[in-house]
Amino acid sequence: MAFVLPSVLRTTAARLSALYLLLFGVCAVVLVFYMTSLSVSLLTTQTMETINEEAASLGRAYQRGGIPLLVRMVGQRSRQPGANLYLIADSHGRILAGNVENLQPGVLETNGWTEVPFRYERYGEGAERTQSQSETLPDARSESLASHDAIALVLRLPNEMIIMVGRDLGEPQRFRDVVRQSLMIALGMMALGGILIWFLVGRRALIRIDNISKAGRRIMGGDLSGRLPVTGAGDEFDRLSENLNAMLARIASLNEGLRQVSDNIAHDLKTPLTRLRNRAEGAIAANADPQEYREALEQTIRESDQLIKTFNAILMISRLEAGYSSEQVVEVDMTATVQDVIELYEPLSEEMDVSLDVSLEKGIAIQGNRELIAQALSNVIDNAIKYATLDGKSSRVRVKLQQGDGNVRLSVSDDGPGIPEATDRERVTERFVRLEKSRSQPGSGLGLSLAKAVMKFHNGTLDLLPENPGLTVLMTFPGR
Amino acid sequence: MNTIVRLGEDLSYNPAMKILVIEDDREAADYLRKALDESGHNAHIASDGEAGLHMAETGDYDVVIVDRMLPRRDGLSVISELRARGNRTSVLILSALGEVDDRVTGLRAGGDDYLTKPYAMSELLARIEVLNRRGGARDAETLYRCGDLELDRLSHTVKRAGKEIVLQPREFRLLEYLMRHAGQVVTRTMLLENVWDYHFDPQTNVIDVHVSRLRGKIEKGFDGPVLHTVRGAGYMLKAA
C-alpha cells in the first residue's frame, strides 16, 4: 500500500477524478453560497416588512392614545413569546420601556433603518452577567454584549422621544449556518468517496496496465508467440489488448515472411551467384582468346543483370507486404491501364502466335497505383503467353475486365497446360516457387508473388482457377 | 536489316561533355570517371555534398551526376540549392533507393533524370547523352528529320523518301522519341519510361518486339537501315 499509493496517484484515472472532485467541489460551494445569501436576503426583506407593519400599528396607537397607549402597547407586545424588539427612549437615549436592555452604542442616533445589523441584549439577559462588566466602558460593553444580531427601524416622535422596532436576525443566520454546515459535511463525504473511487479505479487500472506491461516485456524478451492478457470484460483495456495482439500477430507474420525471404534469397541467389563465379573462374582457367573472354564477360553481365532484377523484385515484394507508402494511391482508370499493358504485349503475342482476346468494360476506376497494377498485370500476361505456347499449339489468351458485386475483376486466362493440382495452384504464388514443368522457362519465380503482393496492397485478392484446358488468374480489386 | 553497333565503337561523333560526378564512394567515382573519360568526356569528381555544390556552381558543367547519399550535404539538397541559386545544369541522380516515390522526390527536388544503383554503364552513358541535349532546340521543333525520314509532330505524319508511312499511335510516339534523340543511344528502360511511362522491367523484353515492328515499317522497302541496335545498350536512330 505504502509504495502502491504514489503510483496509484499517478494514474490517469486518479488525476481525472481529482480534477473532477475539485471542479464539482468549487461549483457546489459557489452554488450553495449563492443560494444561502439569496435566501437570507429574502428573509431579511420579509423581516423588514414585518417591522414596517409593526411600526405602523405603533404609530396608529400613538395617534389614538398618545404616549401612555404607546407604552402600554409596547409593554404588552414585548412580553409575547418570540416578540420583536421594542424600545422607547427619551431624547438622551435613556431606555424608558421595551424589552431591550442593552444596545450597541450609536444605534439610537440613527433615523430610519439601521444600516448594518447591530448587537443587542434582551431585557433580563444582563442579569446573568456581573455588575462590573455591565459598568465598563461603552466600547468594551458593546464587545461583551450577547451575540444577537438585529436590524431595527428607529423613529423619532415630535417630543424627541425615540421609538425603535427591530427584529432578531437569528433565524436567517441559523438557516444559513445549517445549510453551510450540511454543505461542508456533503463536501467531505464527496471528497472521501472520490478518493475511495479514485484509489479503487486507479489501482484496478494500474494492475491491468502492469499485467499488460509484464506481458509486453515477456514478448520483448523473445517470446514472440506471447500475447497480452484479455479479461473478456470487453472494456477499453480489452480493446487495447486485442488491437495490440492483432499488431503482434501481424509483426509475427511479417517476421515469418522475412525469415522465409532470407531463406529463399540465400537459396535462390546463391545458385546463380555460384554459376556466375564458376563461369568467371572457368574463363580465366581456360586461357581463352579475347573473343571467348568477351563472351564470358558478356554472359556474366547478363547474369548479374538477371540477379539484380530478382533482387529488385524481392525488395519490392517485401516493401509491398510491409505496406508501401500510401500517398501513391490515387484514382486509376483501370480500363486505360489494362488497355496500355495489352498494347505493350500485343506485338509479342503476335510474334508468339498467341491471339489476345480482350474484353474490357469501359470507365472502370479504382483507388490504386497505376504502375503497380500495370506491373502485376504485365507479369500475369507474360506468364499466360509463356505457358499458353508451352505445348507448341497455336493458342489464345483472354483478358477480361468487368465490374460487379462491388468488385472490379480482372482475369487473364490461357489455354496452356494449366496447373491441375489444387495444392500446386496454392503454392505457385509463394516466392520462388516454380513448378517442375516451368523450370526450363526463363523467369525468377517471383512474377506471381509480386502480382499477389500488389493485389494485397490494393486490399484485393489473386486467385488461380483451373480451366479446361488452361488456367485463369483472377485479380479482384475492391470497388469504391 | 538489323544492324548491330557495338557500344563505344560508333559513338565518337558525340560531343565531349564536361561532367561533374558527386559521389563519396571512391571506387565507384573512379570507375565512373574512367568510363566517362573513355567515352571521350571530361569528368571531375567531388567527394562530398558541399564541395560538389561549390564545383557545380563555379565549374560550368554540361551534366552533374549526383549520388543521393553524400556526406556533409545530401544529394537532394545539393540539387535544390543549385536550383534555388538559378543554376539550370542538367542533373542525373544516382541512388540505391529505387521505389517510385523515391524517384518522384528526386525529380521534384530538381533532378532531370533518376538512375537506380546498380546500373549498367551503357545506361548511364545513354542517359547523360540525352541530358546534355535537354532544353535544346529539339523539344520545340515540330518537324524531326533524320536522313530521308521525316516526322511531323503537328500533323502526326511520318514520311520516308517522300512516301507516307502509317503508324499506330504508340509507334508514332516511339519513333518521335527516337528521332528527338537521333544519333544518341536510347536504352530499353528509357523507352519504357518515356514512351510507356512505366518504371519497371517487364519479364520478357517486349520493347524489342515493338522496335522491330517499327523497324519493319520504316525500313522495309526503303533504302538502307536507320534504326540500329546498339548491342548491350539499346537503340539508335541514325541516317546511313
Residue A351 with chain B: CB contacts under 8 Å? 209
| Residue A325 confidence (pLDDT) | 56
Range list of β-strands (E), A2-136: 85-89, 95-98, 100-103, 112-113, 118-122
Residues B10 and B126 in one domain: yes
Please indicate, yes or no, whether residues B17 and B116 belong to a single structural domain of this protein.
Answer: yes
Of chain A, the end-to-end C-alpha distance in Å amounts to 57
User: What average pLDDT does range A6-19 have in this prediction?
Assistant: 69
Residues B142 and B123 occupy one common structural domain: no
B97 and B179 part of one domain:
no
At residue A115, the pLDDT reads: 67
Write down the pLDDT at residue A378.
92
CA nearest B165: which of B226, B97, B76, B104?
B226
Q: pTM for the full model? A: 0.61
Assess whether the previous peptide bond of A117 is cis (omega < 30° from 0): no
The rounded distance, in Å, linking the Cα atoms of A68 and A160 is 16
pLDDT of A244-297, one tens digit each?
888 888 888 878 877 876 776 777 678 778 888 888 888 888 777 888 888 888
Q: Name the residue among A315, A328, A347 with its Cβ closest to that of B101.
A: A328
**Residues of A whose CB is below 8 A from B204:** 348, 382, 385-386
Res B145: pLDDT: 85
pLDDT surpasses 80 at A110: no
Chain B closest-CA separation from residue A298 CA (Å): 8
**CATH number reported for the structural domain that contains residue B190 in this entry:** 1.10.10.10
Q: Which residue has the cell 548491350?
A: B232
Neighbours of B161 (CB within 10 A): 11
Mutate to test the interface with B, among A320, A344, A350 (most CBs of B within 10 A): A344
Based on the fold, state whether residues B74 and B182 are members of the same structural domain.
Answer: no
Are B99 and A301 within 8 A, CB to CB?
A: no
CA distances from B112 to A70, A358, B62, B116, B135 (A): 115, 37, 13, 14, 11
Q: What angle do CA B47, B49, B55 make, to 5 degrees?
A: 75
CA distance B117 to chain A (A): 9
Number of structural domains (chain B) is: 2
For residue B84, the enclosing domain spans 4-132
Last residue of some domain: B82, B113, B132?
B132
* Residues within 8 A of B (CB atoms), A 365-384 only: 369, 371, 374-375, 378-379, 382
d(CA A410, CA A461): 11
Distances (CA, A) of A203 to A6, A19, A365, A415: 11, 17, 54, 68
Nearest to A115 by CA among A145, A84, A152, A87: A152
Whichever domain contains B40, its CATH number is: 3.40.50.2300
DSSP letter assigned to residue A120: E
pLDDT at B210: 92
ipTM of the complex: 0.81
A6 — pLDDT class (breaks 50, 70, 90)? low
Confidence of residue B225 (pLDDT cuts 50, 70, 90): confident
A242 touches chain B (CB under 8 A): no
Same domain, B80 and B191: no
Please say if the pLDDT value at position B48 is more than 50: yes
C-alpha A16: how far from its chain's center? 14
Say yes or no: B124 and B141 in one domain.
no
A-B C-beta contacts closer than 8 Å: 54
Residues B127 and B143 in one domain: no
Residues A113-153 pLDDT 10s: 876 777 777 776 654 444 444 444 444 444 445 557 778 88
A355-404 pLDDT, tens per residue?
888 999 888 888 888 888 998 999 999 888 888 777 666 688 899 999 88
Neighbours of A4 (CB within 10 A): 13
List, for residues A463-474, the tens digit of each pLDDT value.
888 887 788 889
Which one, of A303, A223, A464, B104, lies nearest residue B113 by Cα? B104
CB contact under 8 A, A327 and B101: yes
**Which of B132, B156, B178 marks a domain boundary?**
B132
**Quick one: three-class SS letters along A151-216?**
EEEEEECCCCCEEEEEEECHHHHHHHHHHHHHHHHHHHHHHHHHHHHHHHHHHHHHHHHHHHHHHH
Residue A385 forms contact with B (CB below 8 Å): yes
A199-247 pLDDT, tens per residue? 787 777 788 888 888 888 888 887 778 888 888 777 888 888 888 888 8
Return phi, psi of residue A229, to 5°: -70, 140
Q: Is some CB atom of chain A closer than 8 A to the CB atom of B199?
A: yes
Choosing from B96, B117, B132, the residue where a domain stops is: B132
Same structural domain for residues B24 and B128? yes
Cis peptide bond N-terminal to A469, omega within 30: yes
Q: Are residues B98 and B35 in the same domain?
A: yes
Pairing of strands A470-478, A461-467: antiparallel
B167 with B79, same domain? no
Tell me if A370 sits within 8 A of A435, measured CB to CB. no
> In terms of Cα–Cα distance, which of A443, A421, A416 is closest to A432?
A443
Say yes or no for a CB contact (<8 Å) between A385 and B204: yes
Distance from CA of B104 to the nearest CA of A (A): 10
> Considering chain B, what percentage of its residues have pLDDT values greater than 90?
9
Residue A410 pLDDT class (50, 70, 90 cuts): very high
Give the whole-angstrom CA distance, residue B49 versus residue A386.
47
Same domain? For B155 and B56 the reply is no
